[in-house]
């Protein structure tokens, strides 16, 4: 009887741990992004470059409307500074439309503290919601799957 309780407890623990891990890894940026932006943030990557960093944001088309190439794209940091993309990459074609866009921004260390928003088309997408600057990995690169750049209570 005692062995069955231990096995049952372990099975429940495994199921709960698996469910929690799946929930943490499935975290995403905005579940309901601004429709005026025409895209949603799929993920981001932050790469340290000496005392500065490269932030690359991957966007995926979220509706039927195309990206307006005539409108400027800006990353707005907590202090209100607007950053232009240093580089952009498009997937798709001008004839059929773009399905994915990557924007790369050059940021100083102070820019990484506080909230960040991406202004695209006529909308605004949340890039970062928490105040703290990210904690760097040993290799100086971080893959971001949600707008909360802080470590979870699990330590990752």
pLDDT, block means (10 residues), the chain with 156 residues: 78 68 55 86 89 92 87 94 94 84 93 92 90 79 80 45
Which residue in 7, 11, 41, 12 sits closest to 148, CA to CA?
41
In a domain, 55, yes or no: yes
How would you classify residue 54: left for phi > 0, otherwise alpha for psi between -120 and 50, otherwise beta? beta
**In the prediction, which pLDDT does 116 show?**
93
Dihedral sign of CA atoms 143, 146, 149, 151 in order: negative
The CATH number for 79's domain is 2.60.40.10
pTM for this predicted structure: 0.76
In a domain, 119, yes or no: yes
**In the prediction, which pLDDT does 144 show?**
82
**In the prediction, which pLDDT does 155 show?**
44
Q: State which residues form the domain around 63.
A: 35-144
**In the prediction, which pLDDT does 132 show?**
79
- Overall domain count for the chain: 1
**In the prediction, which pLDDT does 16 show?**
67
């Amino acid at each position: 009887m005692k062995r069955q309780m231990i096995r049952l407890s372990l099975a429940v623990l495994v199921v709960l741990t698996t469910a929690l891990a799946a929930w943490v890894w499935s975290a995403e940026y905005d579940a309901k992004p601004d429709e005026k932006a025409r895209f949603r943030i799929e993920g981001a990557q932050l790469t340290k470059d000496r005392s500065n960093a490269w932030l690359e944001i991957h966007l995926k088309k979220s509706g039927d409307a195309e990206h307006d190439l005539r409108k400027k794209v800006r990353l707005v940091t907590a202090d209100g500074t607007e950053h232009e993309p240093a580089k952009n990459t498009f997937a798709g074609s001008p004839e059929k439309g773009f399905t994915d866009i990557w924007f790369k921004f050059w940021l100083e260390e102070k820019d990484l503290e506080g909230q960040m928003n991406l202004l695209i088309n006529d909308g605004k997408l949340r890039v970062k919601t928490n105040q703290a600057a990210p904690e760097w990995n040993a290799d100086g690169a971080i893959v971001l799957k949600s707008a909360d750049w802080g470590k979870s209570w699990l330590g990752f």
